[in-house]
Structure 1
Amino acid sequence: MNLTVLAAFLYGIILLVGGIIGYAKAKSKPSLISGVVTGLLLISAAIIQLQNISWGLTLAQITTILLIVVFAIRFIKTRKWMPGGLMLILSVATLAILVSPA
């Protein structure tokens, strides 16, 4: 398992759990839906990468770029560190791993 697979998998788990926590704390259905969908996309991308299918990495990169945009907008609007700022930093770090040369 290489670093891009691990990054996509762990980030997917964090998003999945975060969506569930967002729903449990604030009854936020958008948090639940977006967390579950993007988390499963990234976990799927990691599994696809493990099967040596090249577009798994592309799926992880595109999903992460979209999340960077979403979390940047959220952070700019709310100016709150949690969850927007922290997730923005985590998304950028994940993308850096996903685009780094193997």
Structure 2
Amino acid sequence: MTDFIGYTYAFTVALGGVIGFLKAGSMVSLMAGLSFGGLAAYAANRVSTNPKSTGLALVVSLTLFIVMGVRFYKSGKFMPAGLVTIIR
């Protein structure tokens, strides 16, 4: 069974990195977005082939939750940190 939610999440994270780069010229946003988006897509692929293989998806998700949660707490700005925190 295909993990459509996982793939959608991966796409959203990668797209966020691209948007951060285009709006602010942030190479860090681009690299982080593409890296975490790629890891999330790989995790979604693993879950699609073996539904019990959720470890990587959990690690990626928790890492983004913590990092973006801290950024949201410090900045108080919903975009993008608050959105990523809520999604995961």
With normalisation by structure 2, the TM-score equals 0.91
1:46 aligns with 2:40: no
Partner of 2:19: 21
Q: CA deviation at 1:69?
A: 0.3
How many residue pairs were aligned?
88
Q: Alignment partner for residue 86 of structure 2, among 85, 89, 96? A: 89
Instruction: Extract unaligned runs of 5+ from structure 2.
Output: none
Deviates more, 1:74-83 or 1:44-53: 44-53
The residue aligned with 2:68 is 71
Q: Which amino acid aligns with 1:76?
A: Y
Name segments (4+ residues, structure 1) moved above 4 Å.
none
- Provide TM-score, normalisation by structure 1: 0.79
Q: Give distance in 2, aligned partners of 1:85 and 1:45.
A: 23
Give the share of equivalent positions with the same residue, in percent. Answer: 34
The unaligned stretches of length 5 or more in structure 1 are 92-102
